Amino acid sequence: MKIIKWIAGILVTLIVVLLGIAYSLPNEYRVSRSIVIQAAPAKIFPLIAAPKAWKNWSVWNQRDPSMEMQYSGPESGPGAAWDWKSKSQGNGGMKFNQVQADQKLEYELHFEGMGKPSVGALVLEVQAGGTKVTWDMHGSSEGNLMMKLFAPFMDKMVGPDFEAGLLNLKKLAEKTS
């Protein structure tokens, strides 16, 4: 009986410590990556402004070619949206909110069970040698304990996917230039 109480005490202590750590972590997270593409914004923008075009450069679609996609709203621009179901990449959806042609696309991203949606943007800036494309995403883990534990690691978890996606976008845009 003493051993059961001792094990229960250790488990309760571990849970309390884990909760304490989780509540001390920041609520906000941000992931941002950039790349210079040797193409004009007018060549790059159609590749990011149409949900159906994302499958040609998005890392997540490449990891799960059998991902189920359902599109809604217009073909591109504000209101364009899609939802997906994937055994390996999770279930979620994205909706484009604000668009400035050849300059900026803002979106909202949600995943099942992850709480509040993230907000992101792809920004195109003309520079010498091409167009700098910056992919940024930020969000809050407030109110979701599981997400709060992942938030400090979002840059390390999602950043490499942003880098790979931007590299794929670069290859595709430069090939079509």
With a threshold of 0.85, does the pTM exceed it? no
How far from 172 is each of 6, 71, 142, CA to CA, in Å?
60, 22, 37
End-to-end CA distance of the chain: 74
* Rounded distance between C-alpha atoms, residue 70 and residue 104, angstroms: 24
pLDDT of residue 60: 84
Residue type, 40: A
DSSP letter (8 states) at residue 89: T
pLDDT tens for the chain, 177 residues long, are 788 888 888 888 887 887 776 667 667 888 999 999 999 999 999 999 999 999 899 988 888 888 899 999 999 999 999 999 988 888 999 999 999 999 999 999 988 876 778 899 999 999 988 999 999 998 877 666 666 666 777 788 889 999 999 999 999 999 865
Maximum C-alpha span of the chain? 74
pLDDT of residue 48: 95
